[in-house]
Chains A and B, each alone.
Chain A
Amino acid sequence: MPNLKDLKNRIESVKSTRKITKAMQMVAAAKLRRAQEAAEASRPYSEQFNAVMGGLAAAVAGSDSAPKLIAGTGSDQVQLLVVMTAERGLCGGFNGNIARLARAKAAELKAAGKTVKVLTVGKKGREAIKRDLEEDFVGHVDLSEVKKLGYSDAQGIAADVLARFDAGEFDVATIFYATFQSVIAQTPTAQQIIPASFDSEGEESALFDYEPSEEAILADLLPRGVATAIFSALLENAASEQGARMSAMDNATRNAGDMIDKLTIEFNRSRQAVITNELIEIISGAEAL
């Protein structure tokens, strides 16, 4: 049986762990609210953007002059996986789930004889898929210094991806991130960004005048579309991360509470056992006289 001093120390240490997880939960809750607001604020832009792009893309689709970013390179041999995860851990299965989805996709592509290249954003995901896919890594984007996600961060990543595309390094790009559904549910998602697909809900694109030309506008907008897709993914990810952390820390706090209860019972029992023991000793000592 552990002695009383050990038990007491143990209880104290679990108590301070509980304080920390409680604090982390509250910080995550505050950050989650901000992340959700940011995600909300970016929605009008991406919605309008996609609506315009849908019309434009439908207008050029099928024509021979369609830009590569829409039509693709005509091959899907080399696949770039952009795996976006958090910079920090302690957020439950968040990083693991995204990494698992990416790993499964990579395995599937490899089985089909494709070449896989991996670009990681966020160091936790990088660590998680390093064992299986390290030889496929082509780059890493570090966002650990970024306090507040801005569009320029997304533009940086997009510029990197587009430069590789222009250099012919890959044919198809897919981003991996978690969509925020609620605090307890974040769905790992794969979204193909190059070649891009837009829903064109019968936009009467033919009605528009284009200034300068339709092609020039597309050439200007398509790279922006990549950045916009990455930006929304980053924001979704940020909200998901905080949500995941919040529920993970909530669980941890509850578990710490249970553990404290259990240890306290054990502590009281041991103390009682010690007292009983002493009493027996005293009584038997007195009887022996």
Chain B
Amino acid sequence: MADTMQFDLVSPERKLVSVQASEVQIPAAEGAMSAMPGHAATITTLRPGVLRVVTAEGTQEFVVTGGFAQITGDATSVLAEQALPRDEVTPEALAEMVAEAERRVNEAKSDFENEPGPVDDAAKLLSDMVAMGEEIGLNK
């Protein structure tokens, strides 16, 4: 079995990386997962979190805010809604993302007064966003 696989991370605005990776840790919607060569073919949605790519040169980290990932045995593609290399994430950028998530919670609250679903979804997005901030050590 090959010990690396093709990994692509793309956002609508640009292609961030395209490398041979031995392992990719993905913040999937239902819990983090690691994709390694030979992984069962899977499509999953993402929650806000940190994506780690292990390559021969070392580990790269990216902050993603959502999107989805397509995993096959020999390739993994992550199509993120918004993705930034971890070094480029400034406290201001994070604050902006959190503010956006907060706005969505409020919007959902006013739009769907009697339906808990969308409100919960938005609230989860917000807490994921804050947790991500803590994980990369930028939050208060």
A interface residues, Cβ below 8 angstroms from B: 38, 41-42, 44-46, 48-49, 52, 56, 150-151, 154, 207-212, 216-217, 220-221, 224, 227-228, 231
Q: Does B24 count as interface, using CB distance less than 8 angstroms?
A: no
Return the contact of B8 from the options A41, A44, A154 (Cβ within 8 A): A44
Given contacts A48-B70, A211-B44, A212-B44, 18 further A-B contacts (CB under 8 A): A42-B14, A45-B11, A52-B70, A150-B13, A151-B12, A151-B82, A154-B12, A207-B41, A209-B40, A209-B42, A209-B43, A210-B43, A210-B44, A211-B29, A220-B45, A221-B68, A228-B12, A231-B12
Cβ–Cβ < 8 Å partners of A220 in chain B: 45, 68
B85 to chain A, nearest CB (A): 15
Name the prevailing secondary structure of the B interface residues: strand
**Nearest 4 Cβ contacts at the A-B interface:** A151-B12, A211-B44, A41-B14, A209-B42
B interface residues, Cβ below 8 angstroms from A: 8, 10-15, 28-30, 40-45, 67-68, 70, 77, 79, 81-82
Among B8, B12, B67, B70, which residue has the most Cβ atoms of chain A within 10 A?
A: B12
Instruction: Provide 28 A-B residue pairs closer than 8 Å at the C-beta atoms, listed in order of the A residue.
Output: A41-B14, A42-B12, A42-B14, A44-B8, A44-B15, A48-B8, A48-B10, A52-B43, A52-B79, A56-B43, A151-B11, A151-B12, A154-B12, A209-B40, A209-B41, A209-B42, A209-B43, A210-B42, A210-B44, A211-B28, A211-B42, A212-B44, A212-B45, A216-B45, A217-B44, A220-B68, A221-B45, A221-B68
